[in-house]
Amino acid sequence: MVDAERQDLIRALPFARRFARALEGNQKQGDQLVAHALKNLATLKDGHNIGIRYRLYRAITERFQQANEGPHTSVTLTLTQRFVLLLTSLEEVPLSAVALILDKSEQDILEDITRANDGLRSVAETSVLIIEDEPIIAMDIQDVVQQCGHRIAGVAYNEADAVRIAKETRPGSFWQTLISEEAATACMPLAGS
């Protein structure tokens, strides 16, 4: 490795560590992933058409894929979608470079971004039971909840309605301005079941 390339690698390490830590979910495993990727990087014969930082990202993604073969634990994102989102949003890598890193077309990368965003959006959406005794305020709350992309499970104007609607709809969340501790205790096990 020439001295200029070594300096580029040293400058790339903090970015690689941040990326790997985000993939792994913790510092220790992320740093281990970078260490393995650095060993792999030394043996890679191809990829010299992209800079050392991007080759390091490629080595990290390849090593991560090898270590995570088999059933994937995330219901919403594939490994490639995770790579694409982290590289574009966290690392601010341009689409053209992400395509080179992952050996895919830019169109494939754009499709992965769209699918990943749709998946994340669907996870963030939930049904909300609004518990409010004032109808006008309940309508305003309903507007806010819907503008945030959530579904309305129902509107309860009293505690009895809240318990009944919660049993019927199993909301993912509550927006409550009036409710007794007894009613809240009765509704809580019903949410998100």
Distance CA 179, CA 185 (A): 10
Q: Which helix (H) or strand (E) holds 169?
A: helix 159-169
Tens digit of each residue's pLDDT (9 = 90 or more) over 129-166: 998 888 888 888 888 888 878 889 999 988 889 889 99
Do 163 and 111 fall into the same domain? no
Backbone angles phi, psi at 46, to 5 degrees: -105, 180
- Domain housing 186: 125-190
Confidence (pTM): 0.65
Tens digit of each residue's pLDDT (9 = 90 or more) over 11-42: 999 999 999 999 888 899 999 999 999 998 87
Do 115 and 161 fall into the same domain? no
Q: 124 to each of 8, 108, 121, how far by Cα in Å?
A: 39, 24, 5
Do 103 and 144 fall into the same domain? no
Do 109 and 134 fall into the same domain? no
Beta-strand (E) ranges in the chain?
127-131, 151-156, 173-176
Q: How many structural domains is the chain composed of?
A: 2
pLDDT at 193: 47
Domain boundary among 89, 123, 157: 123
